[in-house]
Amino acid sequence: MPELAELDRTMGTYRRAGPLMARGSGAWMEDESGTKYLDWISGIGANSLGHGHAGLAAALHDQALTLGHTSNLYRHGPGEELSRRLVERTGMDSVFFSNSGSEANETALKLARKLQGMRGAPERQSFVALNGGFHGRTFGSLSVTAKEAYRAPFGSMLDVTFVDPGDTAALTKALHGKPAALILEPIQGEGGLRELCAGFLRAASELCEDTGTILIHDEVQCGGGRTGTFLCASAHGVTPDVVTLAKPIGAGLPIGATLARGEAARALVPGDHGSTFGGGPFAARAALTVLDELDAGLQDHVISLGAAFESALDELVQKHDACLCRRGKGLMQGLVIPGQSAAVVDQLMDLGVLACTAAGDVVRFLPPYVLTHDDLAIGLERLDTALSSISVSAS
């Protein structure tokens, strides 16, 4: 039988881990040899309903027998129902569907420039973003992503000013330069699970209002119910002009959503933007299933499980010298382990737990919403073992 590397002809953009995954159930995955792994990364936050979810499978089977792809030339029920429910749930006024978080953010940036032109300020072309932020790999979303290593290979980007999270003075100066928009993540995922404080989020909202800057919240990773509320920033009473969602709302299917309110909701008109697959029947049915499950008690489960996860990780930080601190909220958690985060991830995989790193020194956990309290206990015990091994080697 050929080696796996001999079969894989995808471009060399990923450093994939060794096992070839074959199947999954709930919060667990299994490779082709039958080895089981507790999935604490859930497709980088996308598999909110875990693996093999019966309700999702039934919904997609029904959709496959009912109506396939239509494009956006025609109306279809799942897309219109999803648009209504997302608008009602978020307090926004309209939504544009795409296929990913990058595309959702690309839509938001285009929308901001269009709106500034409609306001009579077409010269407002630049953007402000935060250091540590990550917004995607397309040119616009990459332009507002701070990490130079991601940007450098691809040459010129959009005109973007980066400021440090929490630096209100620097933000004030940047916004008085009259950019088109400010884009930020309420919790920076790739940036190391850094949660922006409520005071800074509110100050940013007020400054955008004062300067006529469009405020975009990227909740691709922290939104969709993962942190306990459907929109993460709503816990702080902040409502942006535009908010982007993806990952968990599709339960593993590709979907992005750019939601807008007020005049931003009416900025794009026919011909301005489009997506062949965006909001198609299959992705929409998946997202509707996620909303149904959240309403049926899954959101309460996330809140309960998230509190237990936070408490247990805090105890592990106190126990293990290798851990500097815990970051995150709900089911979006990270442990800061300077110089050894990759070693912990490797050790966890050997113990049957899947995690990944973020911002170099952070071990990141994004488990599926269907993780049980028993699953959590198993994972925490294995994490304790991994940290004990690292602590010994570090001493």
In this structure, are residues 94 and 147 in contact, taking their beta carbons and an 8 Å threshold?
no
- Residue-level pLDDT at 2: 47
Find the distance separating the first CA and the last CA of the chain, reported in whole Å: 44
Would you tell me which CATH number, out of the four given (3.20.20.70, 3.20.20.140, 3.50.50.60, 3.90.1150.10), belongs to the domain 4-52+297-394? 3.90.1150.10
- Residue-level pLDDT at 1: 42
- Residue-level pLDDT at 6: 59
Residues of the chain with pLDDT under 50: 1-2, 392-395
Structure confidence by residue, pLDDT tens digits, 87-116: 999 999 999 999 999 999 999 999 999 999
CATH topology of domain 55-291: Aspartate Aminotransferase; domain 2 (3.40.640)
Measure the CA dihedral 152/155/159/161, to 10°: 10
- Residue-level pLDDT at 132: 97
DSSP string, 332-349: EEEEE-TTTHHHHHHHHH
Structure confidence by residue, pLDDT tens digits, 12-43: 888 777 789 999 999 999 999 999 999 999 99
The domain limits of the chain are 4-52+297-394, 55-291
- Strand 28-31 and strand 187-188: the pairing is unpaired
